A and B are shown apart, each in its own frame.
Chain A
Amino acid sequence: MTGLIALFVVFVAIGAFFLSKDKNGTGRDYFLFIAITLLGALLWGSLIQRRPIDINQLIGDILDRLV
């Protein structure tokens, strides 16, 4: 888990560095970059903790109720 957090921090730092080099970059670019990375990191964290946020299972459960 510590490795994942470290990787997340390094990835965001490198990404922010490259985004800041682009003069046309906007706040939305930063926001989306961090938000998507955070979503991915959360999913990875849940897998590492062996309590996955199983979206496939969730879709399956919803379809079971509907169909």
Chain B
Amino acid sequence: MENARISGWQMFVITFFFTAGTTWIILPGKLISDAKQYSWLVCLWAMVYGLAIALLWLFLAKRFPGKNLIEIVTLVLGRWAGGLVALFYILYFTQIASWVTRNLSDFMNISLMPRTPQSVFHVMVLIICAYAVVKGIESIAMVTELLTPYLHFVFWIPVTWGVAREWDWQNFNVPFEFHFLNTFDQTKYLLGFPFMETVSLMMLFPYVHNRLKTSYLLGVFAAGTIMILSVLMPIGSLGVERSAHLVYPIFVLFREMQFTGFLEHLEAILAINILFVVCLKLSIVFYCAVLAICQLFGVKKRSAVAYPLIWFLSAYSLLFENIVMNVEWVDNYLFHYYALYGIVFPVLLLLVAWMRRMNHAPLSGGNRPA
């Protein structure tokens, strides 16, 4: 395992950008379409769910201090069963990485560069992220830390100004009957994406040398808050009907709002922001995938895994023919599929560990690499 150290603050920004990542740009339109003006409420209960399962993963990690997810799996379930589950997790991480890549190319294709083949975006972004992965998690954490002020500055100042000018409370008075169970069933994908994806960050837990629990939970909480704001802003400014029919309502909001009398069309700034945020998320999940493969197969050179993985990820991200197929898959299967990794396997690990009386006493001073 890499001999790296991540501070609590770095873990917080990593968790925040990983969780918010692609969600705040992709999901608002679909969420508003499914839950109308109550979509902020959906984000709220999804965030509570996200915090609850984060506590489950932290509880699991606390029983095996200094061990990451793959190490815990192989330790608890043994070489063969553990190896199989570890392979499942590797598939999971690579799938998330390829879907994030696809989300980015869809965005670039729909909003900015419609004539460029999507595979060009995939290969270019993946090469950069593979380089980041080879450099290590400390480099990724430092870049995330470095970009945090810029990303917030260029997003929040224009958006606060623009939304304040366009805000209309009447937009929340749309005829819609809210039924909790129906809405819950229609929007359960939000519980999976992004909140169950954060199980990937268990791969980084041993590197965090202080305040792991606080930074992880605060990261999930902050990302949930951003999700709530990301659905409130388009509803308040563009209205429910219009936002529900847009693929990227936040992007349209930036395109149409007037910052001042002469400064408008700020969507280019947002596009760069999205590019940064998605690359950060991709680098993190790519790192988790590479680390998992290296640990399972006992390989020390990350470059021997990271660069060939570009082949696999760039092809996998093309499997959805279009964004509609992607949305349908998310609607029908995502929650159940993610539940396997976010709930079933962790609970299984806790049960087997309990049955085998495996209880590794926590080290003092937080989670340190063994």
Contacts and interface: CB of A to CB of B under 8 A. Distances in A.
A29 B301 contact: yes
B299 interface: yes
B316 A43 contact: yes
A31 to B, nearest CB: 8
B318 interface: yes
Contacts of A63: 332-333, 336-337
B310 A40 contact: yes
Interface string A25-59: 11011101110110111011001000010111101
Contacts of B318: 47, 52
A36 B308 contact: yes
B308 A33 contact: yes
Residue with the greatest number of chain A CB neighbours at <10 A, chosen from B310, B315, B320, B329: B315
Contacts of B58: none
B308 A25 contact: no
A32 B319 contact: no
A29 B304 contact: yes
A21 B332 CA distance: 48
A15 B333 contact: no
B319 A56 contact: yes
B149 interface: no
B314 interface: yes
Which 6 A/B pairs are nearest by Cβ-Cβ distance?
A40-B311, A43-B315, A40-B312, A36-B308, A37-B308, A29-B304
Interface of B: 95, 293, 297-301, 303-305, 307-316, 318-320, 329, 332-333, 336-337
12 contacts: A15-B308, A19-B301, A19-B304, A29-B300, A30-B304, A37-B311, A41-B311, A55-B95, A55-B316, A56-B320, A57-B319, A63-B336
Interface of A: 11, 15, 18-19, 22, 24-26, 28-30, 32-34, 36-37, 39-41, 43-44, 47, 52, 54-57, 59-60, 63, 66-67
